[in-house]
Amino acid sequence: MRKIPILLLTALLFNASAVYAAPEAPINVSAVPQTATSIKLSWTAAGTVAFYEIFRNSTSTPVATTTATEYTDSNLAPSTLYNYFVAAVDASSTRSDISAFAAISTLADATAPSIPAILTATGLSLTAIRLNWASSTDDVAVIGYNVYRDGALRATTTSLSFDDTGLASTTAYAYQVSAVDNAGNESAKSQTATITPSVDQTAPGIPSSLSGNSPTSTEILLNWQAPADNIGIAEYRIYRNDALRGTTTANSYRDTGLTASTSYSYAVSAVDLAGNESGRTALVSIVTLPIAGLPVVVPNVNLGYYNKQAKPKLINLNSWETIKVVVYSDSQFNPRNIDLRSVRLAGAKPTGWFLKDVNKDRKLDRVLTFRARDMKDLYNTDTKAYFTAKTRDGKILNGELPVTVKNSKRKKPVVMPATKPAVKIEKKVEKLKEAFNKQFEKMEKQIGKIEDKIEKKKEQMDKKIEQLKN
């Protein structure tokens, strides 16, 4: 084994310890207050270092790091003593000992807040007024506002408004407001607002963005945006189907105890602290959810005659006259989705149908044709023909059309009180009915398949005709 000279080994050990030695601690640390909320630190460099860590008071985590030999600490409290230490960190993240501490206090806060702006005064009643103003700013923090009436301090508040009460209705009052910070510095007073108490007669703006939904089959939840008012909103009034339903101070309202699958119309108004009511919002119609397991009923389906006849249609029940009825597009269902096997108008089934694009939004309306002779549920005294149908997704449609029946001797039958048949006869009748219904259902299904095929063929023909036209 080769021996290493003693002097060489000593030199190697000395150099190794020098590589891993911590940097020297910064010296000559000084602190100078800059403002009521900031202190500037400086120190002498500690040889070759990567950066410096600044510690404040007894915290073990540095409040800041810097590569410079000075640092300004801000957001401090006025007239407060702070102790600072600095440590150097080299490229291997080895930290020096901390420096000697430097103790210094921030300056006293002598800066007053800004003057409150936009002071307004509004009469609440013959003996009360309301003041409003914009917030002030401060180098530290605003803690309150002084309200002056006719030059004398009336009150101190942390709010941006103040209600003065117990006034005389025939006297003019002059108001000013100043801001106060945590050090007791008070701003100059605002401009003067002079007012004689009177009743506010300015109504609020109309609430905006009224919307709603049905979370359950018996509830509707409404939401809206608050309007502006010169003295403030006291409450909102909720109108349902043009009648007052309730009031609330919130920007939402839950209406309960409703009927499933039913449309309700709502409007909302705002009322200010003086009792002035705004106009109502535009009506919003919302349909409650159906009861689970029950179909959705769409009442008052939008119907019309194909020739846009406004007056009641003259119907001769003894004729083979063809009557064309339009089922207009609706947000609650798609006329194209109607199950044509289920359609009835005064008991008559449709003899034909086609789709027509008549809307600017290019929505398809369905036109149905019926024969007058088939309207077995119409009588000589009727003024309405009732329409019923189902959609393929299970919704039930109800509607009506105005009619005038002519040349008919058909009278409504007089319904006699039913007599209770014998038990045996009743059972036989029920069995016959059941057998008939089953047979009828089979026939309806077969007819439905045929009608579906016919409808598809007609739709294909309509498309081809449209293509040829274009």
Q: What mean pLDDT do residues 41-58 have?
A: 91
Residues 362, 368, 369, CA angle at the centre, nearest 5°?
140
pLDDT for position 265: 95
Q: DSSP H helical segments within 214-319, as ranges?
A: none
Q: What mean pLDDT do residues 353-364 have?
A: 69
182-191, 371-380, 446-455 — which one is most confidently predicted on average? Answer: 182-191
Sheet arrangement for strand 233-240? 243-248, 233-240, 263-272, 284-287
Other residues' Cβ atoms within 10 Å of the Cβ of residue 431: 10
Q: Helix, strand or coil for residue 372?
A: helix
Integer distance in angstroms from the first to the last C-alpha of the chain?
A: 104
With bands split at pLDDT 50, 70 and 90, how would you rate the model's confidence at 300?
A: confident
pLDDT for position 235: 96
Other residues' Cβ atoms within 10 Å of the Cβ of residue 167: 19
pLDDT for position 1: 43
With bands split at pLDDT 50, 70 and 90, how would you rate the model's confidence at 360?
A: low
Check if the beta carbon of residue 163 is closer than 8 Å to that of residue 89: no
Residue 230 has pLDDT above 70, yes or no: yes
pLDDT for position 7: 43
* DSSP 8-state symbol, 18: H
Separation of alpha carbons 39 and 41, rounded Å: 7
Lowest mean pLDDT among 217-231, 396-410, 430-444: 430-444
Integer CA distances (angstroms), 318 to 117, 139, 410, 417, in order: 84, 94, 10, 30
pLDDT averaged over every residue in the chain = 86
pLDDT for position 163: 95
pLDDT for position 437: 73
What are 148's two structure tokens?
Answer: 């002056």
Residue 131 has pLDDT above 90, yes or no: yes
CA proximity to 196, closest of 165, 174, 229: 174
CA proximity to 287, closest of 263, 267, 266, 265: 263
With bands split at pLDDT 50, 70 and 90, how would you rate the model's confidence at 8?
A: very low
Residue identified by tokens 């150099």 is 15
Residue 15 has pLDDT above 70, yes or no: no
* DSSP 8-state symbol, 222: E
307 or 250, greater pLDDT:
250
Which amino acid type is present at position 351? T
Q: What mean pLDDT do residues 370-399 have?
A: 90
CA proximity to 52, closest of 65, 63, 70, 71: 65
Write out pLDDT tens, residues 259-297: 988 899 999 999 988 889 999 999 999 989 888 777 778
Q: What mean pLDDT do residues 348-365 have?
A: 76
1-5, 111-115, 126-130, 363-367 — which one is most confidently predicted on average? Answer: 111-115
This prediction's pTM: 0.41
